[in-house]
Amino acid sequence: MGRTHCTEDDTGRFSCITGDCGSGKIECSTVPAGSSPVTKAEFKINNAGLDFFNVSLLDGYNLPLLVLPSNRSCKKAGCVVHLNGVCPPELTVNSSDGKIAGCRSACEAFGSQQYCCTGEYETPSTCKPTSYSQNFKKKCPSAYTYPLDDETGTFSCASSDYQIVFCAGNTTVYKSTTSNMTVVSSGPAEPPPVTTVITVPSLSPPPLPSVIIAPSLSPVPPSPTVIIAPSLSPQFKTPPSPSPQGITPASPSPQEITPRASPEIRRKTSRSLVPIIAGVIGSVLLIISFVVIFILRARWRGKSEQDPQDVEDHHIKHVPGMPVRFSYQELYVATDNFNERLGRGGFGSVFKGKLGDGTQIAVKRLEKLGQGMSAILSYFSMLS
């Protein structure tokens, strides 16, 4: 099994949120019941010439785990899917930062006989997959998901070595090199197989770095190389003392160059800001002038472009004794589309009509408006 979210307190006690063995140290001698949720690899070696193995999710899940036999004719077992992402909320175990650290089994979460296959549910006829185990099985078909999942969750192999791979993928295959893997060997008795056990990298915080001093391979240690970096502040050199025996001192190397002082930055005075402020004020006044001119022109254009129909309506409203006005649609309906003509006179024909309340009316439809609005208004004045 593997452990995740491991820490070490001030007293040196080591603990993990998932897979903790309760020893308080990195090394584990036993795996107590409180270590779940944890993904486990289980083996029964050399049982009547066969090895039986599975990757069990009965104690929950905390990380992907895969068992690979060296015998290519044998099937691999495990779960390479990150089930924490599909874990139901009632089964999740969270870390201190609120992230999902593992997924508990339904037996541990609820403790009922149905999920644990105990009591009246311990027989093959009553111990059946639950919705939680089926969720695990759908994602990890070769994992052991409930107490009687031997048919699809347990595998057998003869005379094989095994690689236990943590956080594996679907394309992981058995390799002869056992780096970062734990190998369980169950080969023949003679000759004895070579078993290599390499600790799987822990998911806990990395230990303090150690310093290893390796001996030098050269007979004479190399002389140290000294690199002198020039100072960023101005340097003041003292004149060298006369060298003995008339030896001229060496000229300074190109690296020993005194940096120049940064140029003085002149501050802006208030006088230099006057042109800028004047330009801004002038631009604002110009924009305001354009806006005022635009508004005045729009109002003038609105008055000059008044609808002629509105003017005519205004004149007609001021004719004394003007009768009630009707819309063209109302007159169209009252005269049945100007169907019955009573006569013809100035400006048009007169048609017989009938209002909705039964009142008989005579409607004159104007046909010659070209004679001018003043003549029409005079005609209406005579009728009134």
* pLDDT of 208: 42
Residues 6+ apart with CB under 8 A from 292: none
CB atoms within 10 A of CB 26: 15
Amino acid in the structure at residue 271: R
* pLDDT of 355: 86
C-alpha 195/C-alpha 146 separation (Å) is: 32
Report the SS3 class of residue 44: strand
* pLDDT of 200: 37
User: Which tokens belong to 311?
Assistant: 């003017």
* pLDDT of 346: 67
Give first-to-last CA distance, the chain, whole Å: 111
CB atoms within 10 A of CB 62: 30
Closest CA to 79 of 5, 157, 172, 182: 172
C-alpha 169/C-alpha 56 separation (Å) is: 17
**CATH code linked to domain 4-185:** 2.60.110.10
Prior bond of 222 cis (ω within 30°): no
Residues 6+ apart with CB under 8 A from 258: 230, 234, 235, 237
What pairs with residue 161 in β-bridges? Answer: 185
86 near 61, Cβ under 8 Å? Answer: no
Note the helical H segments in 154-269.
none
Domain borders along the chain are 4-185, 319-383
CB atoms within 10 A of CB 352: 17
Cα distances (angstroms) measured from residue 247 to each of 53, 237, 240: 85, 20, 12
Per-residue pLDDT of the chain (384 residues; tens, 9 = 90+): 788 889 989 998 998 988 888 888 888 777 666 677 999 999 998 878 899 999 999 999 999 999 999 998 999 999 999 999 899 999 999 998 889 999 999 998 999 999 999 999 999 999 999 999 999 999 999 999 999 999 999 999 998 899 999 987 767 777 765 444 444 444 433 333 333 333 333 333 444 443 333 344 444 444 444 444 444 444 444 444 444 444 444 454 444 445 555 555 555 566 778 889 999 999 999 999 999 999 999 988 876 665 555 555 565 655 555 567 788 888 888 888 888 888 887 677 888 888 888 888 888 887 765 555 566 666 666 665
CATH T-level fold of 319-383: Phosphorylase Kinase; domain 1 (3.30.200)
* pLDDT of 78: 92
CB atoms within 10 A of CB 329: 8
Say if residue 44 carries a ligand binding annotation: no
| Residue 232 DSSP class | S
* pLDDT of 177: 53
